Structure 1
């Protein structure tokens, strides 16, 4: 994975994506951004307990791939970088390298396959139910709930 993007565009995206991440994630990878570098764009995904945000940015793509990086560290780092182009790459050791002007940083990446993406094909379940059947099921649940509530009063 390797791409180059203008610092301000990356900074705005990580600020926006970081807004859904919990301050104290229960699983460490949930405190990370998923960076998915595709044919002509960068896709940044962040997830919290109840929200997921995906942002697609145009970038100069040199090599496709995926990596995760700590949202907090990347956000703080990008915010402090000087204006200009930021080059981001994943090396063979699993480190995400961020270079801008004379600044160079290496951040540890976790396995991108462990990133909890809502709506992945393998976790998606679909079914069809008629309107009348759905309404009947809701009525049954409400009736049982009300009867239970009356017994406890």
Structure 2
């Protein structure tokens, strides 16, 4: 894999993906970020086996390929480079070589085929919701989530789709919070999912009052 990309195009998505990567890992590859380049679209993926974040950004040029590299070391390199810098990546022989101006870096890689991906369920119907509405649901219920409870289903927020409404519920066994908001259209068949605590906290960081609609 070879890649040429501007620092600003890489730094923000890399920072977002790295936020889900734990500092202490049971598997070495979980400290890495997956980099996939296809048709000059770079996809970055990070996971801790509970939450997975995937973001796409545009490269200037490159040849398709994929590899995994230590997320935090790559982020530190990007932060240290000056604004408007251009980074050139070349992955071969178990190494990712990075060039930018007079700077040269070499990072150890692990096979992309070994990177664990979470299984996802595709719903037949898509639900659209304003970012502010979802953030409001989390703000009103997330404080009641349990922390590291052996009853793992309490360590998150229950999201329920019921007709033309979306409901969030959280409890730690001592208190319970529930919030409900209207959807723009009927959601179809009732559905329930539990969003893990870490995913709730990460989403709450990025959801904005004036952001675009989200789809799930």
CA contact (8 A) 2:32 2:70 kept: yes
* Residue aligning to 1:15: 15
Structure 1 runs (4+) deviating above 6 angstroms are none
Tell me how far apart the structure 1 counterparts of residues 9 and 109 of structure 2 sit (CA, whole Å): 22
Post-superposition offset of 1:43: 0.4
Larger Rg: 1
Tell me how far apart the structure 1 counterparts of residues 80 and 102 of structure 2 sit (CA, whole Å): 13
Post-superposition offset of 1:119: 2.6
* Residue aligning to 1:143: none
Unaligned runs of 5+ in 2: 122-216
Post-superposition offset of 1:27: 0.5
The structure showing larger relative contact order (alpha-carbon pairs under 8 Å, at least 6 residues apart) is 1
Tell me how far apart the structure 2 counterparts of residues 19 and 100 of structure 1 sit (CA, whole Å): 24
Tell me how far apart the structure 1 counterparts of residues 96 and 32 of structure 2 sit (CA, whole Å): 12
* Residue aligning to 1:72: 72
Post-superposition offset of 1:12: 1.1
Root mean square deviation of aligned Cα:
1.9
Which deviates more, 102-111 or 81-90?
81-90
* Residue aligning to 2:90: 89
Tell me how far apart the structure 2 counterparts of residues 85 and 32 of structure 1 sit (CA, whole Å): 22
* Residue aligning to 2:50: 50
Tell me how far apart the structure 2 counterparts of residues 117 and 50 of structure 1 sit (CA, whole Å): 10
What SS is found at the alignment partner of 1:109? strand
Structural mapping, 1:2-151, within 5 Å: 2-83=2-83, 84-91=85-92, 93-119=93-119
Unaligned runs of 5+ in 1: 125-153
Count residues with an aligned counterpart. 122
Tell me how far apart the structure 2 counterparts of residues 89 and 39 of structure 1 sit (CA, whole Å): 16
Tell me how far apart the structure 1 counterparts of residues 70 and 118 of structure 2 sit (CA, whole Å): 19
Tell me how far apart the structure 1 counterparts of residues 67 and 104 of structure 2 sit (CA, whole Å): 18
Tell me how far apart the structure 1 counterparts of residues 38 and 104 of structure 2 sit (CA, whole Å): 23
TM-score, normalised via structure 2 length? 0.53
More helix by share: 1
